[in-house]
Chain A
Amino acid sequence: MWRGTLGPSEVVVGVLAQGRRWFGTVMSSDTARVHLSVQERIEKKRKAALTGGGQLRIAAQHKRGKLTARERLELLLDPDSFVEYDMFVEHRCSDFGMEADHNKYPGDSVVTGQGRINGRLVYVFSQDFTVFGGSLSGAHAQKVCKIMDQAMMVGAPVIGLNDSGGARIQEGVESLAGYADIFLRNVMASGVVPQISLIMGPCAGGAVYSPALTDFTFMVKDTSYLFITGPDVVKSVTNEDVTQEELGGAKTHTTVSGVAHRAFENDIDALLNLRDFFNFLPLSNKDPAPVTECHDPRDRLVPGLDTIVPLESTKAYDMLDIVHGIVDEREFFEIMPNYAKNIVVGFARMNGRTVGIVGNQPKVASGCLDINSSVKGARFVRFCDAFNIPIITFVDVPGFLPGTAQEYGGIIRHGAKLLYAFAEATVPKITVITRKAYGGAYDVMSSKHLRGDVNYAWPSAEVAVMGAKGAVQIIFRGKENQAEAEAEYVEKFANPFPAAVRGFVDDIIQPSTTRKRICRDLEVLASKKQTNPWKKHANIPL
């Protein structure tokens, strides 16, 4: 309710009939004037907030091939669903002339609020590069923290659209404090609500750690960069000549560093894909994995799978062919498709229900596990477990990759991450051994021993300590008739029976029936309840 000061020139204003009932019954002409000017100011501020850094800067942003913070939100969210917070927040810096009116922008350099994606709630912040290059002020951070706090409270995901030059240098430690406030919330929200970062411009220095703490980081090709220090500093410190794109472009982070999970062609492509991706995720750790309407018959047979595994065990095939054949409508949202390609991870649906898919990829490095693929797999499995998404694992793994590069790099502790992730996961776990499951890698890949709920083998499965040749060289060292011994070993172990007779696989199934079996199992396991012993937190070998 509007409150004015009552002065001596009180008059009864006869405007009730004109509908300005909310003024109250008694007011002075001064306060009316004050009020009107407040109205104007509100409108003015709103208008200013909507144009961010002004038309010139908007044109410059467009010229760079980038959309503005608000245009991005409009594309990301359902029409008319965005509810904005803190449009009137301004920065509080008074040094270096920042206190001047022309240096104040309502809303400062970020747009925050909540909205809907296909009807489902999401909290968003979108950094505005047209205001001080999207740099992070104390006020900016405060706005971001506010929506994160609320997202955690109501249980809804947070999506950050990053386009910021870095810290607001004029603010000094205030800006650094702001980063830390956000980092803390990223950590607190981790495992509570899904957090997604979409890098749509520069993101450098301390700023990079917020995306790094979130569950998924996506990038826009050619217009986004992520690095701790830029090319100039690199040059002065290490004397390396490197471009922004080489140092921290989308290609670098999706193929070499593994920092980003996927890259898209441009802003529009990225935002539309993000909408699609959002549909796979539950709103919070208290919500079940979403189930959408499904037109693909749950009992569909996939005849192509009966012949997909080549009869020669050294020949490769594409694990993605299996995944596409089994999931709903061949739709698979692959995570990190160009990094550590010897393991395939991503989201799909089975009879409408979101599932996480993990599969060894025989086409790349024979599908063996190495440092990068273990870490990639582990992080994905932990996300699924945190957010009630069942995990389906397709196993064709000849073992861990040998060699000094791997041992020196710490394959032991990195491989342990994947083992750890599968073992601690309490969501429904279904495993299909399509061909090789050798050695320790057999144990790691969601085996029965790590509480796999349903473990299947295809007739082509071979569960053994190692391949026949190696095994025979050890068992029959120095003996003749190696070939004969090898044949015996193959006969004994290169088939699903040794595992099946011990109950380590629940059934040997015809590959073409795999979809049908998994859909049925997921229905059964939907009510699965399993808890790990109480602990403050576990100690995954980081």
Chain B
Amino acid sequence: MAAYRNTPGFQRVLHAVKHVCFSKQRCGVIICRYSTVYDPNEKVSLIIRVIKTCKKMGIKTVAVHSDVDSSAVHVKVADEAVCVGPAPTSKSYLNMDAIMNAIKQTGAQAVHPGYGFLSENKEFAKRLAAEGVTFIGPDTHAIQAMGDKIESKLIAKAAKVNTIPGFDGVVKDAEEAVKIAGEIGYPVMIKASAGGGGKGMRIAWNDEETREGFRFSSQEALSSFGDDRLLIEKFIDNPRHIEIQVLADKHGDALWLNERECSIQRRNQKVVEEAPSTFLDPDTRRAMGEQAVSLANAVKYSSAGTVEFLVDSKKNFYFLEMNTRLQVEHPITECITGLDLVQQMIRIAKGYKLQHKQSDIPINGWAVESRVYAEDPYKSFGLPSIGRLSQYQEPLDLPNVRVDSGIQEGSDISIYYDPMISKLVTYGKTREEALKKMEDALDNYVIRGVTHNIPLLREIIVHPRFVSGDISTKFLPEVYPDGFKGHMLTAGERRELLATAAALYVAAQLRSQKFLGDLRVSVVPAESRQWELCVELDKGVHMLGVSRSGNNYTVEIDGEKVEVSGEWNLASALLPITINGKHRTLQCLLRTAAGEISLQYLGTSFKLRVLSNLAASLSKHMPEKVPEDTSSILRSPMPGSVVAVSVKPGDNVAEGQEICVIEAMKMQNSMTAAKTAKVKSVHCKAGDTVGEGDLLVELE
């Protein structure tokens, strides 16, 4: 606390940040107005993050919101809230007059502008300056210089920062792209000049792919950023993504706060990050840090920023881009350096000199961050899912766990944005400790109502290659060449899972015989009973013997005994139990009267069916329900909107031919034919909104 009191000055910070409402009509507006696409949940989580620091510093906060966002989380946690207008963004969050009024009305002395939106508006900066209100963040000149990939690369080159060989200008058309690619040499990366977060980015290995990539990227760039300029550079194969956090004040001083390793990515978006990196030696770290600082100095940068590098296997590093906002993964840097980056940003904005010298910046312990997404990891390592968070419980009761999120139980996850639920950070004295903590945190994280990527996160952090630090941005496709399939059970784990399901089944059966105060129930002597059960898992059938003593169950499976004990609270989302003396936390996702039980075990959810031996032996008479033949039916793998349909009834299509393109969360996905056939019927058209599993096209 003492440290915070050193920073007086602001009584009030106005958070002119947007929380986006999720209905369809309005989203169209937002996308074209935003220069960077970031998901609203994350924005809200940043605001909450900022408000938390302000509270510690004794600064009062004001949240601005539109009519419809009055119940959003950030509005609740701020000290005051001001409504700046009705739902349409042009009348509220983009209404400069309304926001200036809010500033005057509340007497706010500083504005944290959030992402995009007014943060890059020179007019807004000017008006704030005229009123004597401080703007928290880098100035607009630096944002614009670094926001443009072409310009930023030129500046970096001039500042003697290592850059990737490539073409520095804007590429005019697909043919020019092919020509340039030939000059640089394949593979090449085509990316949107205005882009970020992997949107509008494509890799090409030959001329054909270059043409196709050019087409896709320019479409995506146009729809995501309203700017279809593309550039091309050499693609560094198998690199690591390591970034340096910098902090610069308004007096020309800058610091580097060590690195963050962000190599675990899917489709160029980060999934798991850690600080420090297992890969960097002190010399490389210093060299990268010094180049990052010299880039910050070159653009007269002030506030917190991030310089991203690609690092090849020989520890050569190349400048990628500079991010001028507080990044999603900033908490891991805070963990190992002990600095509060938001506090530093506020101090810098107020004009204070940097508090620390480069030699003051430590690396204490290890921090890991998992990005928890509402997406299905079994489809391309994560296709968006939507839904309402019917149950939501963060593992905050565990020590050294931090969760930054902008959502709450009951929140809706919609199809129009990156579906990030939260960033889950764990900290330990050693990497091993931090990773162990992450396992626990993921096991204790309750998310119901949407499909989430915890199965994938839980697998990554225990994978031998990850644990040994042998990673690159190719980690996921290399480790799971056939796609992610969930946790593969060992024989021992399988027994643990079967035993847990059997014990849970018996506990539930026993409870269903407990009627309070009913004298007409004939008492079943349960204590002395022995249960013969049949448990199905992945088409394997197991005969189990279960005996019980209090809350302890002994389950016999194929001659092996498994001891399971626990509280067996059937209402709790978490199922903390002890299996053969080992503590485990499972989650019961589903338990039906017909014996179906879904358990989340080691991150992955497993479907089991528990039946009495009698029911199991009679099951063979039950009619087989014929599953639908899916090869001639194309269904939408996710909720989204149809961008284009390239076939009509009667067309002949070849296997693998594109049938239509679905866009969700700003990603375009090409849907292809599963076999060579004639198109029977088309059930969608460009512009339609489709749900997961909706029928798109039928083949004959």
Contact = CB atoms under 8 A, between A and B. Distances in A.
Given A71-B618, A292-B512, A293-B514, 16 more contacts: A62-B621, A67-B621, A118-B513, A118-B515, A119-B523, A119-B524, A222-B623, A272-B595, A273-B594, A290-B518, A292-B516, A294-B571, A305-B410, A306-B410, A307-B71, A307-B410
B390 A325 contact: yes
B154 interface: no
A304 B619 CA distance: 40
Interface in B612-641: 614-615, 618-619, 621-623, 625
Given A283-B520, A295-B570, A307-B71, A272 B618 contact: no
A495 interface: no
A279 interface: yes
Nearest 9 Cβ contacts at the A-B interface: A304-B410, A65-B623, A276-B593, A296-B571, A295-B571, A304-B409, A293-B514, A119-B521, A266-B622
A75 B614 contact: yes
Contacts of A222: 623, 625
Contact of B618 (A67, A119, A275, A277): A67
A472 to B, nearest CB: 20
B552 interface: no
Interface in A295-340: 295-297, 302-308, 311-312, 315, 318, 321, 324-325, 328-330
A426 B412 CA distance: 39
B411 A307 contact: yes
B621 A75 contact: no
A268 B410 contact: no
Nearest to B410: A304
A120 B410 contact: no
A318 B615 CA distance: 35
Contacts of B513: 118-119
A305 B71 CA distance: 12
Contacts of A62: 621
A223 interface: yes
A304 B390 contact: yes
A330 B390 CA distance: 10
A272 B615 contact: yes
Given A119-B523, A269-B594, A276-B593, A291 B622 contact: no
Contacts of A315: 23
Contact of A121 (B515, B520, B594, B623): B520
Interface of B: 23, 67-68, 70-71, 388-392, 408-411, 511-518, 520-524, 569-572, 593-595, 611, 614-615, 618-619, 621-623, 625
Interface string A417-443: 000000000000000000000000000
11 contacts: A66-B621, A75-B615, A119-B522, A119-B524, A222-B623, A268-B619, A291-B515, A293-B516, A304-B408, A305-B410, A312-B68
A275 B513 CA distance: 11
A316 to B, nearest CB: 12
Given A268-B618, A295-B571, A306-B410, A287 B594 contact: no
Contacts of B70: 311
Nearest to B611: A268
Contacts of B409: 302-304
A104 interface: no
B518 A291 contact: yes
A526 to B, nearest CB: 11
Contact of B614 (A65, A74, A267, A297): A74
A303 B623 contact: no
A265 interface: yes
Of the four ranges (under 10, 10 to 19, 20 to 34, 35 or more), the interface on chain A belongs to 35 or more
Given A66-B621, A265-B625, A306-B71, A118 B410 contact: no
A304 B68 CA distance: 17
Nearest to A296: B571
A248 interface: no
Contacts of B611: 268
A352 interface: yes
Contacts of B71: 306-307
A516 interface: no
Contacts of A279: 512
A296 to B, nearest CB: 4
A266 B623 contact: yes
A57 interface: no
B67 A311 contact: yes
A509 B622 CA distance: 49
A50 to B, nearest CB: 16
B281 to A, nearest CB: 48
A78 interface: yes
A363 interface: no
A175 B358 CA distance: 99
A75 B615 CA distance: 7
Contact of B517 (A75, A291, A306): A291
Contacts of B593: 272-273, 275-277
Interface string A46-68: 00000000000000001001110
A277 B512 CA distance: 11
A116 B389 CA distance: 39
A312 B68 CA distance: 8
Contacts of B572: 295
B617 to A, nearest CB: 10
Contacts of A65: 621-623
Most A CB contacts (10 A, CB to CB) among B514, B595, B611 go to B514
A235 B392 CA distance: 56
B410 A352 contact: no
Interface in A341-379: 352
B571 A268 contact: no
A268 B594 contact: yes
A275 B594 CA distance: 10
A203 B259 CA distance: 74
A295 B391 CA distance: 17
A52 to B, nearest CB: 15
Nearest to B411: A307
B410 A308 contact: yes
A292 B570 contact: no
Interface in A226-257: none
B571 A321 contact: no
B421 to A, nearest CB: 14
A297 B572 CA distance: 10
Contacts of B518: 120, 287, 290-291
A311 B621 contact: no
Given A305-B410, A307-B411, A311-B68, A321 B515 contact: no
Nearest to A269: B594
A275 B615 CA distance: 13
B548 to A, nearest CB: 16
Given A265-B625, A304-B389, A321-B390, A295 B411 contact: no
Contact of B512 (A79, A118, A328): A118
B68 to A, nearest CB: 5
A328 B611 CA distance: 24
Contact of A352 (B68, B516, B569): B516
Contacts of A303: 408-410
Contacts of A330: 390-391
A324 B391 CA distance: 10
A463 to B, nearest CB: 22
Nearest to A72: B618
B611 to A, nearest CB: 8
A96 to B, nearest CB: 32
Nearest to B408: A303
A236 to B, nearest CB: 30
A174 B514 CA distance: 44
B408 A292 contact: no
A119 B68 CA distance: 53
B520 A287 contact: yes
Most A CB contacts (10 A, CB to CB) among B70, B514, B594 go to B594
Contacts of B511: 292-293, 295
Interface in A257-288: 265-269, 272-273, 275-277, 279, 283, 287
